[in-house]
Amino acid sequence: MTIPIDPHTPSTWLRTEGPDSDVVISSRVRFARNLQNYPFASKNSRENREKLLDEIFSVIQEYPPGANWITSRLEELSSIEKNLLAERNLISKQLLTEPAGGTAFIPEETLGVMINEEDHLRIQAITAGNDLDLALAQATDLERFFDTRFEFAYDEKWGYLTSCPTNLGTGFRGSILLHLPGLVITEKLNRVLNAISNLGLTVRGFYGEGSETRGFYFQLSNQITLGRSTEDFLASLKRVGEKIISHERAAREQLLKKRDLGLKDKIGRAFGILKYAHQIESEEAIELLSMCRLGADRKLLPELKIKKLDGFLQLLQPAHLQQSVGTELTSEERESYRARLVEKEFSTTPS
């Protein structure tokens, strides 16, 4: 089976300008839901999982009319195709190994659902830039549609019932993907993170829970889902996000005023490696792109476009490279192909 995704084109939310896109790359809202008439995923039989997939795939084409949902049973996909979906945030790493796992998403990749992961349904919406309100509206509309077709597992005292207690209650998880080079370089990030931890929020890596921090990319999200309304959790996340954006911009201004030759040298070296290297590892690519993004924002690399750099965050990942050539590649082959792709893009950019 071949999924209709062009590995040469980034997801819509990565190539589109959004609010505060100098600092916030994307916003995501997710709801965890379970169906009343099925056991939780850990106790659900293979037969029930298959039945659940059939039900979801059948009804989702009704919302909204003409949406042309793309549906995939993960076991029918190659390893490269499954990892491609994970690199585009359409499925989680956990879903890669779940039996009878599935996904459905619209062609724009801004709205989708994971099926038979930790919970029966993980409904998510992703928007460009700092736009949690839009993401919430889109995810809520899809959640309400499912609510008209199925009976969710719900308790009057505890709210929506989930496999993991940390998702109990609203089942809501909101997040914004931030680029914070100013706070990292000026060594102010830890102070900000310490304040965040006392507000029920947490900071994770580029791919969220369980992922490592790469470059200057951080994901801010709510840590608890119980005891308050979805709107309250969202308001808290937005409020803290706005403060971080303000602090980051101030830190970048501070860096520019210092006229730090060391920083300019690091940005220039990052650009030089991307432009002239013959082999680049995926982790190194993220770190170099992150440094160049700072250079582009501060007009130290004015010919570089921020959204082009953001798109490379996906396109240079292992599954995207392998899907591009149509076969598996060794790590050395991927490093060489990655370097050629970047060199081709940067070849017309003045040094």
Same domain, 291 and 274: yes
Element containing residue 287 per DSSP (H, E): helix 282-297
Nearest to 108 by CA among 68, 61, 59: 68
pLDDT class of 66 with cuts at 50, 70, 90: confident
Same domain, 206 and 109: yes
pLDDT digits (tens, 9 = 90+) for 22-54: 999 999 999 999 999 999 988 999 999 999 999
DSSP 17: -
pLDDT digits (tens, 9 = 90+) for 171-199: 999 999 999 999 999 999 988 888 887 78
Same domain, 213 and 297: no
Same domain, 124 and 272: no
In sequence order, the 6+-apart residues with CB closer than 8 A to the CB of 109 are 11, 12, 13, 88, 90, 126
Same domain, 81 and 167: yes
Nearest to 165 by CA among 231, 223, 95: 223
In sequence order, the 6+-apart residues with CB closer than 8 A to the CB of 177 are 24, 25, 26, 27, 28, 206, 217, 218, 219
Domain count for the chain: 2
**Span 1-9, mean pLDDT?**
89
**Span 146-164, mean pLDDT?**
96
CA distances from 107 to 10, 56, 63, 68, 69 (A): 12, 17, 13, 7, 7
Same domain, 151 and 193: yes
**Span 133-137, mean pLDDT?**
98
Last residue of one domain, picked from the residues 235, 253, 271: 253
Same domain, 167 and 216: yes
pLDDT digits (tens, 9 = 90+) for 253-278: 998 887 778 889 999 999 999 999 99
61 falls within a domain: yes
Reading phi first (left if > 0) and then psi (alpha if -120 to 50, else beta), residue 104 is in beta
Same domain, 149 and 33: yes
Least confident interval from 62-71, 302-311, 319-328: 62-71
Q: What is the pLDDT, as a whole number, of residue 162?
A: 96
Last residue of one domain, picked from the residues 253, 278, 299: 253
* Per-residue burial over 118-136, b = 16 or more CB atoms within 10 Å of its CB, e = otherwise: bbbbbbbbbbbbbbbebbb
Neighbours of 251 (CB within 10 A): 21
The span from the first CA to the last CA of the chain, in angstroms, equals 43
Same domain, 101 and 231: yes
336 falls within a domain: yes
**Span 116-121, mean pLDDT?**
97
Q: What is the pLDDT, as a whole number, of residue 345?
A: 85
Is the pLDDT assigned to residue 210 strictly greater than 60? no
Q: What is the pLDDT, as a whole number, of residue 203?
A: 87
2 falls within a domain: no
Same domain, 153 and 300: no
Which two structure tokens, joined as six digits, stand for 269? 């070296």
pLDDT digits (tens, 9 = 90+) for 299-308: 999 999 999 9
- Rounded to the nearest integer, the mean pLDDT of the chain is 93
Q: Rounded to 5 degrees, what are φ and ψ at 242?
A: -65, -35
Same domain, 323 and 222: no
127 falls within a domain: yes
Residues 74/95, Cβ–Cβ less than 8 Å: yes
User: Which residue range(s) make up the domain with 340?
Assistant: 261-346
Helix axes 331-346, 306-315, angle to 10 degrees: 160
Is the pLDDT assigned to residue 209 strictly greater than 60? no
Q: How far is the C-alpha of 142 from the C-alpha of 111, rounded, in Å? A: 9
7 falls within a domain: no
Same domain, 340 and 229: no
Residues 57/104, Cβ–Cβ less than 8 Å: yes
275 falls within a domain: yes
6 falls within a domain: no
Last residue of one domain, picked from the residues 206, 231, 253: 253
Collapsed DSSP state (helix, strand, coil) of residue 276: helix
Residues 177/217, Cβ–Cβ less than 8 Å: yes
